[in-house]
Amino acid sequence: VYGVSYGTRVAQHYLRRFPEQTRAMIIDGVAHVGLNLAGGEIARQSQHSFDGMADRCSSDEYCRARFGDIRAKFKAVRERLLAQPEKISLPHPQTGKIQTETVSEQNLYASVRMLPYSTEGTALMPLMISEAFDGNYIPITAQTLMMSESFSDSFAMGMQNSVICAEDYPFIEESDTQNLDDTYFGSTTIDGINVVCTHWPKGVMDDDFLKPFDSEKPVLILSGETDPITPASNGESAANMFSNSKHIIVPAHGHGVIQRGCVPALVRDFIENANLNELNTQCVERERAMPFFVDSTGPKP
């Protein structure tokens, strides 16, 4: 059984319900049992990811020299767009057709949240923020347009609402809503979920869905070191729950790492043998982050 992102929650519950039908399990970008995604988790993890990018930029010779204080630039762009959205014309990034778009802080938030899902996306962030700081909003707007169309083609918002409103929202605790003032999202995500789940129909959920459990089945746990939504600490929580497990953290990568570096070979071996002790995971240490783009042509040579 393989699950990635929300699929890790499904995979774990499948193992709980049907252990006799499960030979082994791989979970990648883990939502561990008991994790609540309807509170402040998205805002906190997105901020943590942004801070990691900014810290890396400030310690990188070329990124620091080219962009300066990327946190200060982001703050300035955010405040500017909060005060007054901008209307711009740009060629659609896929069709090339010129169209007019209104750029608000939500465009900025969407880009900053979603780009770190991959190391290639993270590499673009300082350039995109700096361009917006200089008044060029085309990069973040084009990014938002591409993400919006990708989501509409592959992401079912009705299903998302059904999941969150049944499996997370009813179980929000006070601690889930704390420490959001220092995040760029603030309470935006919680406020939106509150509005949706107040009206959205709630499905049924097994009574033991949120309860920890163990299994004798071998469980391979994969995490990206810079994952902006399901950090490696989530994978560690799952590893602590499953006594027969191995947790691999892939350096420099984000959300969903099964296709990165030597991980496909490790997964192949695990599927063939279902033996965690035979996996030599040292090869993942060769992974490196994509260098930051210093202009539209790419990183420094």
pLDDT tens across 3-18, in order?
A: 999 999 999 999 999 9
**How much is the pTM?**
0.94
Contact (CB, 8 A) for 172 and 187 = no
Distances (CA, A) of 42 to 101, 109, 170, 185: 26, 12, 17, 9
Task: Provide mean pLDDT across the span 22-40.
Answer: 96
Question: How would you classify the pairing of strands 25-28 and 2-4?
Answer: parallel
Task: Provide mean pLDDT across the span 114-119.
Answer: 96
> Per-residue pLDDT tens for 54-110?
999 999 999 999 999 999 999 999 999 999 999 999 999 989 999 999 999 999 999
Residues 277 and 290: their CA atoms lie apart, in Å, by: 31
